[in-house]
Amino acid sequence: MKSAVIVFPGSNCDRDLAVAFRDATGVAPAMIWHRETSLPDGIDLIGVPGGFSYGDYLRSGAMAARSPVMRAVADAAARGVRVFGVCNGFQVLTEAGLLPGALMRNAGINFVCRDVDLTVENSDSPFTRLYASGETITIPVAHHDGNYTADDVTLDRLESEGRVAFRYGSAVNGSARNIAGILNDAGNVLGMMPHPERMVEAAHGRSDGRRLFEGLLEGVAA
């Protein structure tokens, strides 16, 4: 499997995501600077990491979404390449139009940094194939603008089409319907606010995030 991690000014979880990709695939991902206009040939998986791209100026993810490399990411997604955006990466994907809705300031205007329980809502995607539908897992969050917002028509469509991948087990940041992660209509793009790359080995206290990365490898190998 060939993977890549996009790096923006202000990314601070790019190496965490790269390590998770490397450990799952056995091959280190290509680290792609945001000013590049193309991706490696034969790429199977693209990671858009967490952090504070461009210092969260203007709007979280808005400036990064207009970086030259995002045109190549959008083209790859349209071809069926898997794209995974975590935290700030989720914000970038919504701002780039690869996922619907927006991530707003947390309810209570507080930065939230703690482990949270998630319910796996859809286990029939490349990202969630090794989880059971309805399973509860624990994954850390660390965000200030994680309040997922969309109009009722969009929310109803996400629910009816099985595109809600993860849901918070309790109120965390004000997200509509406690949505923590969503899929695009083709199922090959996932954005989520919690950080599965921070819970992939015993030293992290739990390894609930590991199966997400292992499932991606299994899907490509199949």
Residue tagged active-site, from 34, 87, 95, 143: 87
Q: Per DSSP, what are the bridge partners of residue 141?
A: 114
Residue tagged active-site, from 95, 121, 143, 195: 195
197 is catalytic: yes
Q: What is the DSSP string of 1-52?
A: --EEEEE-TTB-SHHHHHHHHHHHHSSPPEEEETT-----TT--EEEE--B-
Contacts by 110-113, CB closer than 8 A, 24 or more apart: 110/144, 111/142, 111/143, 111/144, 112/141, 112/142, 112/143, 112/144, 112/146, 112/172, 112/173, 113/140, 113/141, 113/142
Residue tagged active-site, from 95, 121, 143, 197: 197
201 is catalytic: no
* Best CA proximity match to 56, nearest among 141, 145, 140: 145
Angle at which helices 14-25 and 210-221 cross, to 10°: 50
Residue 113, both tokens = 């940094």
Catalytic residues: 87, 195, 197
